[in-house]
Amino acid sequence: MISIKVAIFEDNKHLRESLYYLVNGTDGFTCTGAFADSNDLLFKLKRSQPDVVLMDIEMPGMNGIEAVKIIRKQFPGVQVLMQTIFHDDDNIFNAVCAGASGYILKTTSPAGYIDAIKDVYNGGSPMTGSIARRVLDLFQKNIIPAGNNDYQLTPKEKEILQQLVKGKSFKMIADVLGSTYETIRTHMKNIYTKLHVNSNTEAVSKALQEKIV
Amino acid sequence: MISIKVAIFEDNKHLRESLYYLVNGTDGFTCTGAFADSNDLLFKLKRSQPDVVLMDIEMPGMNGIEAVKIIRKQFPGVQVLMQTIFHDDDNIFNAVCAGASGYILKTTSPAGYIDAIKDVYNGGSPMTGSIARRVLDLFQKNIIPAGNNDYQLTPKEKEILQQLVKGKSFKMIADVLGSTYETIRTHMKNIYTKLHVNSNTEAVSKALQEKIV
DNA sequence: AATGTCATCACCCGATTGCGGTAGCGTAAA
DNA sequence: TTTACGCTACCGCAATCGGGTGATGACATT
């Protein structure tokens, strides 16, 4: 039977050893490394050849988030399960951005730890409902500012704006849309008025940031 | 004892009734409405005054995603738990964008349904590990295109680019950065070269889309 | 000491854009 | 039918921008 190889990065000695024994004491799991910091990260990874890395997000020296970035870059196949004490939005956000595959709290039960490790190994992203909610919130706030942006742009105006965002000049836009240069200019004037801007860069900026395009 | 009020939107009669009896048959839960479609959505919501809406993502007429948008806008306090048959990335992405609070599969056990409803009601976002993984993937791909964008911009150039994105003209940028108009222009030329663009709009577009700013 | 990079400033020319105004045409709503 | 709106098109003028060239000093590297 194959065993899921787990590497542990956790600066707290007690927790690290507890996790070590938990992993090694569970059928189907092997702890191939338990480290107090992520110095010589690549060396440690090459040594332990883990399938799953259990990474403490708060660590002295290189923090867990930096470590995740490196791991994901150098060992794309390795799943990283972040563990943390706090429900810290910034950390969650950064960890998710860095490429963490799961996010659990240190208050998780031993059985929960094992389940989570198994889940990330099988391509899942275990996280508590409350953490998932924060991820969704972050998603909706940071990624989809959406906002109540209704500038009443006509289809033509949106089309022109899209072309502008692509970096096209008025002349080029006139060409691709089969209109005259002057016509495009007229539309642009109307767009400026509707968006309350007064330059092409401002229009592009607003269009992108408010996802009008 | 207060009961969690649940409204069900599900076009499949069998599943709808099963869910109805499941919810009503569980202590602490009351189904205040079970509907086959989301026509007259607002009326149905006012009628049933739910705490949690269980929404089928595939529905005839107005689909679940449109419904979620309306619910979140008109009833911000109502949590929406999406249910679906498939692991469809687009649907997941759209539902998350629309403001769904959780995402479960219809293959979930009755106990799983109840747990999920309880979780969203308590501010969590229940989702299976595999769905969470997809959300994270979407997050990392769509939101953080990140990419290998290293254009070697100097701090000054980044600063100018930021101002440009804000809609400032070269002249205005020269003013706020305490430089000369000509200096800004020189920097811009260098920025164009580094970004491989040849207009201010293109630079703004690239800066925003590749998150250089 | 020599080299290279960066930031700064300057001038020129031609092209593009911003701004204001005018106007015809078709469609849909009032 | 009148009105409103979107799309089309044009003109002129002032301002800005893109491209090119050149130059200086600061600073770090070699």
Q: Write out pLDDT tens, residues A22-47.
A: 999 999 999 999 999 888 888 999 99
List Cα–Cα distances, A162 to A137, A207, B18, B116, in angstroms.
28, 8, 47, 41
Q: For testing the chain A interface, which of B133, B210, B213 should be mutated: the one with the most A CBs within 10 Å? A: B133
Going by the DSSP 8-state scheme, the letter that residue B127 receives in this structure is B
For chain B, the helix, strand and coil percentages under 3-state DSSP, each to the nearest 5: 50, 15, 35
Among A138, A48, A45, residue whose Cα is nearest residue A95: A138
| Average per-residue pLDDT for chain A | 86
Q: How far is B1 from chain A (nearest CA, A)?
A: 24
Strand C positions within 7 A of protein Cβ atoms: 6-11, 16-23
Q: CB distance B199–A167 less than 8 Å? A: yes
Q: How far is B37 from chain A (nearest CA, A)?
A: 26
Taking contacts as CB-CB distances below 8 angstroms, the residues of chain B near A144 are: 97
Of B83 and A61, which is predicted with more confidence? B83
Banded pLDDT at B155 (limits 50, 70, 90): confident
Question: How large is the average pLDDT for residues B143-156?
Answer: 66
Separation between Cα atoms, residue B100 and residue B71, nearest integer Å: 10
Number of CB pairs < 8 Å for A and B?
Answer: 120
Listed in order, strand segments (DSSP E) in chain B are 4-9, 29-35, 52-56, 79-84, 102-105
Whose CA is nearest the C1' atom of nucleotide D11?
A: A182
Q: How far is A163 from chain B (nearest CA, A)?
A: 10
Taking contacts as CB-CB distances below 8 angstroms, the residues of chain A near B97 are: 139-140, 144, 146
The structure tokens 């590749």 sit at B210
CB B87 within 8 A of CB B128: no
Q: In three state form, how does the secondary structure of chain A look? A: CCCEEEEEECCCHHHHHHHHHHHHCCCCEEEEEEECCCCCHHHHHHHHCCCEEEEECCCCCCCHHHHHHHHHHHCCCCEEEEEECCCCHHHHHHHHHHCCCEEEECCCCHHHHHHHHHHHHCCCCCECHHHHHHHHHHHHHHHCCCCCCCCCCCHHHHHHHHHHHCCCCHHHHHHHCCCCHHHHHHHHHHHHHHHCCCCHHHHHHHHHHCCCC
- Which residue(s) pair with B35 in the sheet? B9
pLDDT of residue A70: 87
Whose CA is nearest the C1' atom of nucleotide D6?
A: A154
Tens-place pLDDT, residues B135-147: 787 777 665 555 5
**Tokens matching residue A123:** 């391509």
Q: Which of A125-129, A166-170, B89-93, B194-198 has the lowest mean pLDDT?
A: B89-93
Question: How large is the average pLDDT for residues B18-44?
Answer: 92
List the single residue in A119, A135, A199 with the smallest CB-CB distance to B169.
A199
Banded pLDDT at B206 (limits 50, 70, 90): confident
Separation between Cα atoms, residue B14 and residue A157, nearest integer Å: 47
pLDDT of residue A147: 53
| Average per-residue pLDDT for chain B | 85
Tens-place pLDDT, residues B40-96: 888 999 999 999 999 998 887 778 888 888 898 889 899 999 988 877 767 777 787
pLDDT of residue B143: 57
Of B7 and B147, which is predicted with more confidence? B7
Residue A143 pLDDT > 60: no
Q: CB distance B129–A119 less than 8 Å? A: yes
Q: CB distance B130–A139 less than 8 Å? A: no
Q: Which of A89-93, B47-51, B66-70, B155-159 has the lowest mean pLDDT?
A: A89-93
Q: Find the closest chain A residue to B73 by CA distance.
A: A148
pLDDT of residue A148: 56
Separation between Cα atoms, residue B141 and residue A99, nearest integer Å: 10
pLDDT of residue A150: 67
CB A153 within 8 A of CB A210: no
Residue A142 pLDDT > 80: no
Residues with CB under 7 A from strand C: A 169-171, 185-186, 188-189, 192, 198-200; B 152, 154-157, 179-180, 182-183, 185-187, 199
Banded pLDDT at B178 (limits 50, 70, 90): confident
pLDDT of residue B213: 63
Distance A158 CA to D2 C1' (A): 30
Separation between Cα atoms, residue A171 and residue A177, nearest integer Å: 10
Q: CB distance B143–A139 less than 8 Å? A: yes
**Tokens matching residue B22:** 């499941």
**Tokens matching residue B158:** 């980044």
Strand D positions within 7 A of protein Cβ atoms: 5-11, 16-23
